[in-house]
Amino acid sequence: MLRRLVGLAIVFALLAGLGLGGYWQYSQLFQGEPLPPTPEFKDDGNRLPTQEEFDKLAESDPVKMLSACLTRYQREVTGGIHATLQKQERVKGKPDHPEMPPVEVIELWVRGDVPDPETKQTAIEVLMKWRSGAKSVLGAEIRGTLYSQKPEAENGLGKVRTWRPDALAFKLSIPIVANSDPAKDQSRYCMHDAGLYRTLLRTHEAWKARKAAGELKTEYLGKRIVETLGRECHIIKRICPRLEIDAFLIGGTPSTDPKEGFTEVTIYIDAERWLQIGTELYRTEPDGTRVLLGAYYFRDVTLNATFSPDTFTVDELKK
């Protein structure tokens, strides 16, 4: 009997949450699918728009504006970022409306997300540390997550590891593939796609596809300082032609669960640095109720950040 109880305790401990918003840890039973090919954004080599031209694109052609953002990012931000990510998100309809998703404040480091100019490959590394709003699993808060696409990564190529310092056991989780089903149950987006570059890429791909289909409907809401972000932003809202669902990974296959669907997207583009530092997803129900699906704000952004040699290591995760 004692042996059985110990065995059950170990199993439950292995079900520790990890990842963007708290992935459930199912040990290595859930390996996940291979990462889908990431759509490639090609720099055409042309000059960047002037600031005046960029401002006009924000009003008249948001797809070209997003293209300019990606081009500038690829050319200027080769050393990664450090930022504070404030987010709220509803996953598969949870929590139920009208309860609001909790506000999470996360210190975020991302490196290697921009494709190498020669190989076109990425070696993404992500470190997240929760400053507030961390979810609890088995009574212990998830205080940090670590992901690396580098073959020499301590936690394994393409795997995520979490840190729960207050846990009675398994404070440091067993590495788990970031694209596993348990991960999809706990977060709208994969940790592989964290950061500003892939946020821009996701939006650009979606809006470009809608434009090509003749279904892109946007409304320019002006340029102003956004209090939550502390930056002057171009604000653009897209009205979806039907219920839409983002894929967990850029280039992947979206869920078919209508609870994940949204009907409008608002983006906030830093007017000076051309970064998508805010995104809001809403669904309007048949009765007119407007439900928040997700809100993501990147604050205090440092581009080409200085990283210590141990930034993307287990030792740093545990600090």
What average pLDDT does range 212-219 have in this prediction? 98
Q: What is the model's pLDDT at position 8?
A: 37
Q: What is the pLDDT of residues 169-192, one digit of tens each?
A: 889 987 877 887 767 777 899 999
pLDDT > 90? residue 266? yes
* Residue 87 structural domain: 2-317
Q: For 30-34, 247-251, 315-319, which range has the lowest pLDDT when averaged over its residues?
A: 30-34
Average pLDDT, the chain: 87
Q: Which of 39-43, 90-94, 256-260, 293-297 has the highest mean pLDDT?
A: 293-297
Which of the two residues, 179 and 43, has the higher pLDDT score?
A: 43
Which of the two residues, 17 and 222, has the higher pLDDT score?
A: 222
Total of domains in the chain? 1
CATH of the domain at 102: 2.50.20.10
Instruction: Work out the percent of the chain whose per-residue pLDDT is above 70.
Output: 89
pLDDT > 60? residue 313? yes
Residue 210 confidence class, pLDDT cut points 50, 70, 90: very high
pLDDT > 60? residue 107? yes
Q: What is the model's pLDDT at position 32?
A: 59
Contacts 24+ apart (CB under 8 A), 302-306: 302/81, 302/82, 302/83, 303/76, 303/77, 303/79, 303/81, 303/273, 304/76, 304/77, 304/78, 304/79, 304/80, 304/81, 305/79, 305/80, 305/81, 305/82, 305/109, 305/111
- Indicate whether this model's pTM tops 0.85: yes
Q: What is the pLDDT of residues 267-284, one digit of tens each?
A: 999 999 999 999 999 999
Q: What is the model's pLDDT at position 209?
A: 96
Q: For 1-10, 181-190, 292-301, which range has the lowest pLDDT when averaged over its residues?
A: 1-10
Q: What is the model's pLDDT at position 242?
A: 95
Q: What is the model's pLDDT at position 152?
A: 77
